[in-house]
Structure 1
Amino acid sequence: MPQDILKRNNVRSFGRGSQPMMFAHGFGGNQQMWHRITPAFEENYRIVLFDHMGSGKSDLGAYDPDRYGELKSFALDVVEICEALNLSDVILVGHSVGATIGMLASIYAPQILAQLILVCPSPCYLNEGDYQGGFERSDIDGLIDLMDKNYIGWASYLAPLAMKNEDFPEFTLELESSFLNTDRSIANQFAKVTFYADSRKFLPQVSVLSLILQSTDDIFAAPEIGVYMQQHLRNSTLKNLEANGHFPHISNPSEFIVVLNEYLTASLIS
């Protein structure tokens, strides 16, 4: 059974340190999204990379649409990977919905996950009463409908809006390629699971140390959402980045590495 989860999720582990640092990608991505970040931490940490089921080089034949109709199942995969590798004291770096998945995993296994680095997170993308998640339900409906009717057009439309880095068009092309290399039917379901989910009720249950990284001009996670999360997450710190867009680990990896190193060093001292 342990080997099954490692194969299913295309798990890779490397590095010369003992403390595990696990990276969880977001919607439309895969573990390659972290390739600019991991070299900076290989010396001092044990790096663990994986693909969410249905993404990247995960075993598509093992994908169960019923099981993965909720974020909880992705979070339980994270816990199973940690158990299969006998990990403890894990620092989980999660991007976007990968951050939400990491938070859920920390609730299910706080004895395994020690810290969360939440990159451009959002517990709910929908506007609900006084809470402004950034999108009306009709907006998300339209996004999903575009995926159904014109997946290539959807990818070319969304990638530049999410990346927000006109100086380096190769970053946008990298993201668009990741979108296009994802199975369309699985991507459609993951989009629904991601954008219709409301995980706000889980925030008070997160007990581990958390760093919230908020980038600039992010269409998916406005500054107000970062403030909201800090207010509802115990033991959390909010750091505003200069990087633009929803993918600061791609658009400005040097800043990302510096900020993460500073936070981890301060955590060790305290």
Structure 2
Amino acid sequence: MMFAHGYGCDQGMWRYVAPQFSEEFRILTFDHVGSGGSDSNAFDPAKYATLKGYAEDVIEIAREASVQGGIFVGHSVSAMIGVLAAIDAPELFDELVLVCPSPYFLNDGDYLGGFTQGDIDELLASMSNNYAAWSNTMAPAIIGNADRPELGQELASAFCRMDPAIAGTFARATFTSDNRPDLPKVSARTLVLQCRDDILAGEHIGAYVASQVPDASLVILDATGHCPNLSAPHAVNEAIKAFVGSP
């Protein structure tokens, strides 16, 4: 069972979830290049200009660990990274769990990704101008749960540990990728987990992902914000257990 963290996070974000499955599954957690304890010297701006570079890493790690027919759990941008990995190497994962996924952040006709091009341009410019200030402003809004400020502080600290140049490249790949055409190509059985009041991926986005993946189900968690693995791990654990335990 392989867990992949979201933008600006690290594998510690799974500390309330991954251990709950360690008796039944072999657990793999890791840090994307440039995040957490990874080797930032391995960062290649050309490779990681798109999410495909991160998907290649997932495939490499899974193969090194001799994964076959495993379960991939991806949060936020790693949901789409997992989709790409599962398409390119379908033998690795029989099941996908996509936590608060978004295949495209831009509004496009009837598709409401939640942001205009101007919004994305402003976000990337703000990151470039003062990454620390951006992190401290955006992290609490992303994680929600204003009554638990320690969660926003943890996410902001994780953001701030990233090299700003790497963070900017990863953000551009995250917020400009359009993975909508990839969703129908997924052959793995899929669970989409969605929260309420998620400013990055509204409930309609989760429903869209579930409708486009051929064998997918949608669960709306009793949780708010974009990081239920931190804010509502019990709900995440119960939903995943029900999914992997069902035929």
Do they fold alike, i.e. is TM over 0.5?
yes
Q: 1:170 & 1:261 partners in 2: Cα distance? A: 27
- Structure-2 residue corresponding to 1:260: 240
Flag structure 1 segments of 5+ consecutive residues without an equivalent: 1-20
Give the corresponding residue for 2:94: 114
Q: Secondary structure at the match of 1:87?
A: coil
Q: What is the deviation of 1:51? A: 0.9
Q: Which residue of 2 aligns with 1:174?
A: 154
- Separation in structure 1 between the aligned mates of residue 18 and residue 82 of structure 2, nearest angstrom: 18
| Matches of 1:184 and 1:207, distance apart in 2 | 36
In the other structure, the counterpart of 1:10 is none
Deviation at 1:79, TM superposition (A): 0.7
**Match for residue 78 of structure 1?**
58
Aligned length: 247
Q: What is the SS of the residue equivalent to 1:45? A: coil
Q: Could you report, residue by residue, the CA deviation over 1:75-113 in whole angstroms, capped at 9, with x for unpaired residues?
A: 111111111111111100000110000000000111111
Matches within 5 A, 1:90-169: 90-169=70-149
Deviation at 1:167, TM superposition (A): 2.5
- In structure 2, what is the equivalent of residue 5 of structure 1? none
How many Å separate the matches in 2 of 1:67 and 1:257? 33
Q: Is 2:7 the partner of 1:27?
A: yes
* Mapping for residues 214-233 of structure 1, pairs under 5 Å: 214-233=194-213
Q: Secondary structure at the match of 1:212?
A: strand
> Shift of the alpha carbon at 1:27?
0.7
Superposition misfits of 4+ residues, deviation over 6 angstroms: none
RCO comparison, higher one (Cα < 8 Å, 6+) = 2
> How many Å apart are 1:224 and its aligned residue?
1.1
Match of 1:228, SS? helix
| Secondary structure of residue in 2 paired with 1:167 | coil
Q: SS at the partner of 1:193?
A: helix
Equivalent of 2:187, from 207, 220, 234?
A: 207
Q: CA RMSD in A?
A: 0.9
Deviations 1:34-73, CA, capped at 9 Å, x for gaps: 0111221111111101111111111111111011111111
Q: Secondary structure of the residue that 1:262 maps to in structure 2?
A: helix
TM-score by length of 2: 0.98
Q: How far apart, in 1, do the equivalents of 2:8 and 2:239 lie? A: 25
Cα separation, 1, equivalents of 2:125 and 2:90: 38
Q: Structure 2: which 5+ residue stretches go unaligned?
A: none
Alpha-carbon distance in 2 for matches of 1:39, 1:78: 20
For the pair 1:198 / 2:178, whether they are aligned, the reply is yes
Q: Tell me which residue corresponds to 2:224.
A: 244
Distance in 1 (CA, whole Å) between partners of 2:67 and 2:208 is 31
Residue 180 of structure 2 aligns with an amino acid whose one-letter code is: R
> What is the identity, as a one-letter code, of the residue corresponding to 1:215?
C
Amino acid in structure 1 at the alignment position of 2:176? Y
Which amino acid letter does the alignment assign opposite residue 134 of structure 1?
G
Q: Does 1:89 align with 2:83?
A: no
Match of 1:183 among 160, 163, 174: 163
Distance 1:195 1:166 in 2: 24
| Residue identity opposite 1:51 in structure 2 | D
Q: Is the partner of 1:46 in helix, strand or coil? A: coil
